[in-house]
A = this chain, B = another copy of it.
Amino acid sequence: MAKKTILVVDDEKDLLDLIEYNLKKEGFNVLKAENGEEGIAVAKEGKPDLVLLDIMMPKMDGLEAVEIMRKDDDLKNIPIIFLTARSDEKTEVEGLNKGGDDYITKPISTTKLISRIKAVMRRFDDTQESVNKLDVHDLEIDKDRYIVKRDEEEFQLPRKEFELLFFLASRRGKVLDRQTLLNKVWGDNIYVVDRTVDVHVRKIREKLGDHYIETVKGVGYRFKE
């Protein structure tokens, strides 16, 4: 596999250097930036495969940076791992909801950091999570337009239904339990009863037919392969 490039954005220079050293030792290319603004510029320039992003930074903080990245066609699909010293749960939720893919609280051991990075990359590699348009069976699921198309017919699903369908479809074949679905589609710190998933599944089936989402009793749901 080609060498992967990681962009590290943090205002603490020492930490930046430390992380760089360790990542390079692991065989990654490393780009650095010291605030959100610079981070975005470097990202556009260097097309990293993953971004390690500190949340608290001068000039432009991590959350703003993500918002901008997610709106940029070149950057929107790059996985992001937040680095945060802040424990504030609101930050956490906000970050993840805005498109962050994992978060890590500082300080963290190098081993853990590397393993998290690899885990996130692996997830991206084999789930096409970074794609905004899925073609599965006879469906075209378009996340840019929030529309599902079959033949010439277009279905406008409500947000949650669409996102649930998209998430399931992007992991075609894999059984996902309700809690995972809630965490990934609804958000990590949102509390709704897990049966809510059932109802949304039913509504999707109502509209598209029930041959896409399979039930695995006692485990969860699965998008048919």
- B-contacting residues of A (Cβ < 8 Å)? 85-89, 92-93, 95-97, 100-103, 105-107, 109, 111-112, 115-116, 118-119, 122-123, 126-128, 144-146, 156, 158-160, 173-175, 179-180, 183, 188-189, 191, 216-219, 222, 225
Q: Are A97 and B106 in contact (CB under 8 A)?
A: yes
**13 interchain pairs, CB-CB under 8 A:** A85-B97, A87-B95, A87-B103, A100-B105, A109-B191, A115-B128, A116-B127, A119-B189, A145-B225, A146-B175, A156-B216, A159-B217, A160-B218
Query: Which residues does chain B contribute within 8 Å of A88, judged by CB atoms?
Result: 92
The residue that A173 contacts in the complex, of B92, B100, B144, with Cβ under 8 A, is B144
A96 and B87 within 8 A (CB): yes
A131 nearest CB across to chain B (Å): 14
A217 — which chain B residues lie within 8 A by C-beta? 158-159
Q: How far is the CB of A190 from chain B (nearest CB, A)?
A: 9
Q: A93-B86, A180-B122 are in contact. Are A222 and B145 (CB under 8 A)?
A: yes
